[in-house]
Amino acid sequence: MHPDDEVCLCFHVSLRKIRGYLEREKPPVASLISECLGAGTGCGWCVPFLCHLHDQHQKGVEPDLRVSPEQYARSRITYHKTNVREITPPPTPQGPPPDESTQTPAK
């Protein structure tokens, strides 16, 4: 991946920006990379890659992803097609609400 290719496609955060953030801020945990323009806080696709970049930085290796931007983007599309997040509505009560005047108070 080239430095100006985007790692976080939701917020358009490039590899160069992430490298600069890692070098400047030296975050102790990968989740703090989210402070770099919100990287990793959108769809979640890039989170494992951000963790990988953080791990490389911690080891003293220049952070890089060995993938073409085209392949990376195609994989993200597949991720979104297979990991559909559905919102499950809360269960609805069965029948009418209870009539409070007919209930005996709890003791």
User: What does the alpha-carbon distance between residue 36 and residue 53 come to, in Å, rounded to a whole number?
Assistant: 13
pLDDT on residue 79:
83
Find out whether 30 and 50 touch, Cβ atoms under 8 Å.
Answer: yes
Q: Does some domain include residue 100?
A: no
Q: Does some domain include residue 50?
A: yes
Domain holding 56, by residue range, is 6-82
Q: Does some domain include residue 89?
A: no
Q: Does some domain include residue 10?
A: yes
pLDDT on residue 84:
52
Q: Does some domain include residue 20?
A: yes
Bridge partners (DSSP) of residue 8 are 13
- Which residue ranges of the chain lie beneath pLDDT 70? 83-107
Q: Does some domain include residue 97?
A: no
- How many domains in the chain? 1
Q: Kindly state the tokens that stand for 91.
A: 């269960």
- Cα three-residue angle 69-19-28, rounded to 5 degrees: 125
Q: Kindly state the tokens that stand for 49.
A: 């890659």
